[in-house]
Structure 1
Amino acid sequence: MRSYEEAFSPYWHPVAYSHELKERPLAARLLGTELVVWRTGSGVSATQRYCAHRGADLCAGDVVGEGLRCAFHGWTYGQDGRCVRIPSQPGAPIPSGAALRSFHAAERYGLIWVCLAPQPAAPLPHWPELEDGSAATVALPRLDWNISAGRMVEIVLDVTHLSWVHRGTFGNPEQQEVPPYEVERRPDGLRAQITYPALAPGLEGAPPKVDKTMLTYEVVFPFAARLAFKPTLFFKHTVFAIASPWSEEKMQCFYFASYHPGLRMFPDIFVKSELAILEQDRLVAEAQRPRAHPLDFSGEVHVRADRLPIEYRRGVIALRLGRPVDAPVPG
């Protein structure tokens, strides 16, 4: 079994929203690694957070034409992490050890992504509707939860909890049975469709109404989920939840929705309702044990309705074992 860091370092993970990264360098953390990210003339860069000279925090530095300049002694690092300027001895050769660990960094879908490994194991998720201008987006503040990234994705995929955990938001307590559904295994993830009679929020004081909603779940391993809502009474929209692992027991989730740009009232409705829904999820998820994503199924009992989160966990376990995600795993 590979360590958590070894298994998931070769994948892209978000570390910030694009709107958070402005002219100043920004601190980030991924899989126990402290990072600093900053904008360059050609995109974004990510390196280790602390200066190779005396360990100063480079988040307090400045972005200049040559790269990232430390505020302590002015050492400046280029996009590849190598030191390009030492002001205290401008004529001397720069020591070979004057360099930062640098990492792959990219900006897409309103997120800053980082891959810690020398070579990414997979490309970034492919969500063309977020790039072709056909949809508007609205993001929630980052969700800092004391659970593993896999636990977060599992609760997003778990249709059986909707009628129980989400009472008072959109869950329908009268609908407890989950009809049979199929899960499609893909080389990079999973897909499933489930119909759920959600309670649509009442507008202008009206009571909520039962709204037969088609839920289409799509997973990109290891920790990205796309959930399309197609109701009959409420607005069609798609939710994206990408859990970014700080460690094996803590994560940040970047959570946003895409919607038709003509729905001007959607952002306010979404943010208010989704924060309430996710708080219900957080209370349950943070109380689960273990906080780390289980590596087998021996400590739990499952039923047919759990198939989607079970298939997801099988894929994550396969990654820990270094196997293809569609290969059988123990348990």
Structure 2
Amino acid sequence: MSTAGEVRSYRDTFLPYWHPVAYAHELREGPLAARLLETELVLWRTASGVAATQRYCAHRGADLSAGTVTPQGLRCAFHGWTYAQSGSCVRIPSQPQTPVPERARVNSYLAAQRHGLIWVCLSPEPAAPLPEWPELADSATVATVPLPRLDWETSAGRMVEIVLDVAHLSFVHEGTFGNPEQPEVPAYDVEKRSDGLRAQIVYPALAPAVGSAPPRVDRTTLTYEVTFPFTARLTFKPTLFYPHTVYAVASPWSEEKMQCFYFASYHPRIRNFAELFVKSESAILEQDRRVAEGQRPRAHPLDFSGEVPVKADRLPIEYRRALAALRLGRPPDAPAWD
């Protein structure tokens, strides 16, 4: 990679962005453990929203995710120390008449609930707002269905790249929807935005066989929309069917491991969509996982010096260029490096 810039650490680069750490339905009355960028977190609900702090008590290192949510805050199960949303300890039961020491606190972080997810930003100043998906706000015309969380031994960027990769569909997804007889990828444009990318491609997907009839080719329009750093929204528009949209939001545990929150929105008139989606998409993603976890390095590469990209790879190439720009402290839509 020809550049004079200094590469920032992975954690420092992506720390100021919002990342999902749990589905909203997972966070109930009690606290919930989570992890983000090598930081152990505990989440809990407050009267005003969602709180996120470091997971371990400042007193003796007990796991706060085993504690209890009270009106005062999160109470540690070991000695009852109670923490407010700000991270400050507000109660030490063993010495109620003594002022709480200033050092009796845990780190707190920004947290929010949106799009059915719990998001956390580890920086006090987010580098970008949460993704805007206005279609999800209308529950009367759009239904959603999530998959179980995906825990993959690969980087968040690698996971997003495989979602954006058109050329692999005919090979990796043979037997699900891939069409091995038509692997050619026609030329397509990629729109670069300050916060992401957009591309539209028509793919000759194989519709499932029905009864004794063989699978039929359905020229499906695929619209890819990326929000940096690790979110892909992919809309499928079959020729003779309602469209549906898939949301893949990868959350980095570390530079080489991630979890992904993967769900779909669809028209409520599509019968049995949720059941079929979970079954078919789980099979498709298992095909992707085997490939992604086998790639080396597991960390997302910053350049292409060890690879031979072609024009069909344009969308994942532009995505990698954008993340490389972020690692260099440059705008993601900056002119590409060689």
Relative to the length of structure 1, the TM-score reads 0.98
Question: CA offset at residue 152 of structure 1?
Answer: 0.2
- 1:170–1:200 CA contact under 8 A, matched in 2: yes
Question: CA offset at residue 122 of structure 1?
Answer: 0.2
- What does residue 315 of structure 2 align with? 308
* Alignment CA distance shift 1:227-1:163 (3 Å): same
- What does residue 123 of structure 1 align with? 129
> Are 1:232 and 2:239 counterparts?
yes
Identify which of 173, 179, 202 aligns with 1:172: 179
Counterpart CA distance in 1 for 2:211 and 2:89 is 60
> Are 1:154 and 2:150 counterparts?
no
Question: Structure 2 counterpart of 1:225, which letter?
Answer: A
Stretch moving more, 78-87 or 196-205: 196-205
- 1:317–1:329 CA contact under 8 A, matched in 2: no
Q: Helix, strand or coil for the counterpart of 1:219?
A: strand
Counterpart CA distance in 2 for 1:111 and 1:263 is 24
Counterpart CA distance in 2 for 1:75 and 1:36 is 15
Counterpart CA distance in 2 for 1:268 and 1:250 is 28
* Alignment CA distance shift 1:309-1:93 (3 Å): same
> Are 1:114 and 2:89 counterparts?
no
Question: Structure 2 counterpart of 1:265, which letter?
Answer: N
Deviations 1:151-198 (A, max 9, x none): 000000000000011000000011111000000001100000000010
Question: CA offset at residue 297 of structure 1?
Answer: 1.2
Counterpart CA distance in 2 for 1:212 and 1:8 is 37
- What does residue 108 of structure 2 align with? 102
> Are 1:27 and 2:37 counterparts?
no
- 1:81–1:101 CA contact under 8 A, matched in 2: yes
Q: How does 1:61-100 map to 2 (within 5 A)?
A: 61-100=67-106
- What does residue 5 of structure 1 align with? 11
Long gaps (5+) in structure 2: 1-6
Counterpart CA distance in 2 for 1:20 and 1:194 is 35
Long gaps (5+) in structure 1: none
Deviations 1:251-278 (A, max 9, x none): 0000000000122310111111000100
Q: Helix, strand or coil for the counterpart of 2:11?
A: helix
Count of matched residue pairs: 331
- What does residue 3 of structure 2 align with? none
Moved beyond 6 Å, runs of 4+: none
Question: CA offset at residue 93 of structure 1?
Answer: 0.8
Counterpart CA distance in 2 for 1:94 and 1:264 is 58
Question: CA offset at residue 204 of structure 1?
Answer: 5.4
Identify which of 37, 44, 51 aligns with 2:43: 37
Counterpart CA distance in 2 for 1:330 and 1:305 is 19
Counterpart CA distance in 2 for 1:247 and 1:206 is 47
Counterpart CA distance in 2 for 1:117 and 1:159 is 34
Identify which of 314, 319, 324 aligns with 2:326: 319
> Are 1:15 and 2:27 counterparts?
no
Question: CA offset at residue 234 of structure 1?
Answer: 4.1
> Are 1:285 and 2:292 counterparts?
yes
Relative to the length of structure 2, the TM-score reads 0.96
Question: CA offset at residue 131 of structure 1?
Answer: 1.2
> Are 1:220 and 2:249 counterparts?
no
Counterpart CA distance in 1 for 2:160 and 2:75 is 38
Question: Structure 2 counterpart of 1:68, which letter?
Answer: L
What RMSD, in angstroms, separates the aligned Cα atoms of the two structures? 1.0
Q: Helix, strand or coil for the counterpart of 1:313?
A: helix
Counterpart CA distance in 2 for 1:316 and 1:60 is 37
Question: Structure 1 counterpart of 2:52, which letter?
Answer: A
Stretch moving more, 128-137 or 41-50: 128-137
Question: CA offset at residue 235 of structure 1?
Answer: 3.8
Identify which of 275, 283, 292 aligns with 2:282: 275
Q: Helix, strand or coil for the counterpart of 2:188?
A: coil
Identical-residue share of aligned pairs (%)? 75
